[in-house]
Structure 1
């Protein structure tokens, strides 16, 4: 009768990372004063620096204090999983409810070894009559542990939060690659210049929100409904194409003029020297604009057609340049090259058509309704 009228207090020591189980080999839940005491002694012998053993001793002491006040008490150790996360919280909560259902407490007290288990406390409070929480931290170490936890959270944000990881990991990777390449090919002066230039450019972009302005401008040019992956692809193609065009033009102009050379010869030599890279740059630039979203068979075929047709013109245009630059150039070579170019253009278009049909038959491309491959 006395036990029925007494308040029933359940003291649970929560170990979400399951140090007790992984280090002692004991299975949780561990219920009963004697069992918890033996487990704590075993844990402290295995690892004297383990904080969970202090929490287990503290839970036994709290249970004894409540017993002296007339409570009918039960003490237990609850374990999660060594890798933590939601599964650890779910396992620990299942064990807590199992112990609570067998004891039917009127009050529940939670004892932990610090600040790692605060996420599970609201769940316990919602399902059980949680009366108090006791955090056992070794003296002289509370501020150190709190600082460690805060530092760990911010460090995790650098690797997981999209707002920070692209600057921390992306910028860090760029610096590492640049320094590595310059270390192999360059001098320490060039390394320092490249390092601080990258840092300065990143600070400048972040300070004036240049990355957002560039992103907004690209979305305005290419359309706002394009996914980031397609937008990045179109941007890289556009940048590459424009760079090749500018490089070819600069390379052709920098060669200068030969003495006594006619204007037609100058144009021809310019075309012969630059047409390969120039045409490829033009094709890449047009390709960046021809890629549509959502991707369809027709848009892919149009992009490939633009690429192969422009590149196929290179032999004939190069031959035209050589013919203009060389007065003794034989016209039959130009005729043969023109015929070869026509055959090359035809073959390239046939290859594009066959490629699209093969991809369609293999169901690699999902063709939108109404899209035809001619």
Structure 2
């Protein structure tokens, strides 16, 4: 069995004498190449070819060691190598071939050889000192070949490199670094939470909702409007007070915005519930329980924010005025902050329990199963 051991030597001055055939001729070429440039990786490629030929000979094969090459990295050089392979195949009629290369560029020539003789193996020689560099090269090559990774990494890095010097021209270094860091943070959150995927699906979902007549489309718009109103109300509530701690400012914002945000959550959940009732014969208990949960959470959050604001001196204690209903008379009294918070928490718990009970009734499940879920 004759095996052609081919070492590819492209781009070196010695490549003009190719093909070089036979062990003695290859050893002479190794000496010449090593004397001219001892650091040339082609020396290692040729030595690997000798080692492969010895290994095949020890296994009982009849190896034919040859070096093929061209003078430059061009189409003409590749055609020269193809012609040399044709001559070697016509002269020695090998049953198979083993290709020895020392770079990724040379490895691109393997299909040319494979089209003329069966290639059993490709031996890529990596110099030990350059192994990390070679591995990094292959990783970068794979990275640049992936279009999605290029868009995700290279485009943001390019934008940052363009924006940073422009920011330095118009502002200080601190503001420029802070703006770049904030932009990177927003981008990471944007990709990490999958917002890009959601936004890409949003037009199709909106179109489907319009065509199918889903009630939730309208309620989502209402919820968005109520959310904006809640944020605006929170900002107005914060601007109405001065000289308080950031913690109390946050609670003032929550106190003013929670009713509107709760209404937004209630509108969205009711729309989703109506869609479930219209499109399906039954409805899952989670959708029934969601409106009650939104109201319960809103009550608890508002109770806690009111408690902190009253203890912090922003609000006055809550006073109940005297009321005369004829048969029933209520004397005026003052609720302290703790009692008021307890009432809000109790109301939230009661509403959530009512939601669980309604959900079990609608979905025809046991309340124990609903509480476990």
TM-score grouping bracket, smaller chain normalisation: 0.3 to 0.5
Q: TM-score, normalised on structure 1?
A: 0.45
Q: Which has the larger radius of gyration?
A: 2
Q: TM-score, normalised on structure 2?
A: 0.45
